[in-house]
Amino acid sequence: MDSNKAISVSRRSSEDIKRDMSTSDGASSTSLMAMSAASSPLSLSSSPTASVTPTARSRLREERKDPLSALAREYGGSKRNALLKWCQKKTEGYQNIDITNFSSSWNDGLAFCAVLHTYLPAHIPYQELTSQEKRRNFTLAFQAAESVGIKCTLDINEMVHTERPDWQSVMTYVTAIYKYFET
C-alpha cells in the first residue's frame, strides 16, 4: 500500500500539487504560479551534461587527455605555438624575458622562473634573479615545480652548459607545468 502511495505521489502533476497547496494553506493561485515560474521544474532525466551534445562531450574527453588541443583552439595554430603564446602571456611584464622559442629563450632559467613565479611567488624571488646565475635560476625553478609535484625532466648540468637546449625537452617540461596549473 505504501509503495502505491509513493508511486501515485511521484506521478502527480505540478498542477495537482499547486491546487492542493492553494486549498490547504489558503495561498492564492497567482502567487503559487509566480513562485512556480521562478523556480526551475525538476526533471528525473536531467543531468549536468544532458544539454551537452555528443560532439562537445567527445571534445571534452579529448581535452582531458590532451589539454594542449584546447589551448590550440584558444590561441589558434599548432599546439606548440599555442603553448608558446601561453608562456608569453604568462610572463608579460617580467624583466629580461623574451620567449620566442622553446630553446634559447629558456637557456638561463629565467623563463622557467617567471612562469612558475606567476603561480608560486613565495618559492621564487624573481626580482633578485639575474641571467648570469643560470644554475641558481634552474635550481629554484625545478625545486619550486617539484614542491607541487611536477617532476623535473631536464638535467640542470646540461641546461647550464648549453646555449640552445633541446626544444622538445623544454616543451615537454613546460607542458607539464601548463597541465598542472591550468587543467
Has residue 74 been placed in a domain? Answer: yes
* pLDDT the model gives residue 58: 66
| Residue 86's CATH number | 1.10.418.10
b/e 17-43 (16+ beta carbons within 10 angstroms → b): ebeeebeeeeeeeeebeeebeeeeeee
Has residue 58 been placed in a domain? Answer: no
The total number of structural domains in the chain stands at: 1
The pTM of the full predicted model, rounded to 2 decimals, is 0.68
Has residue 170 been placed in a domain? Answer: yes
pLDDT tens-digit map of 92-143: 999 999 999 999 999 999 999 999 999 999 999 999 999 999 999 999 999 9
Instruction: Provide the residue range defining the domain that includes 106.
Output: 67-182
Using the Cα atoms of residue 115, residue 116, residue 122 and residue 126 in order, give the sign of their dihedral.
negative
pLDDT tens-digit map of 152-179: 999 999 999 999 999 999 999 999 999 9
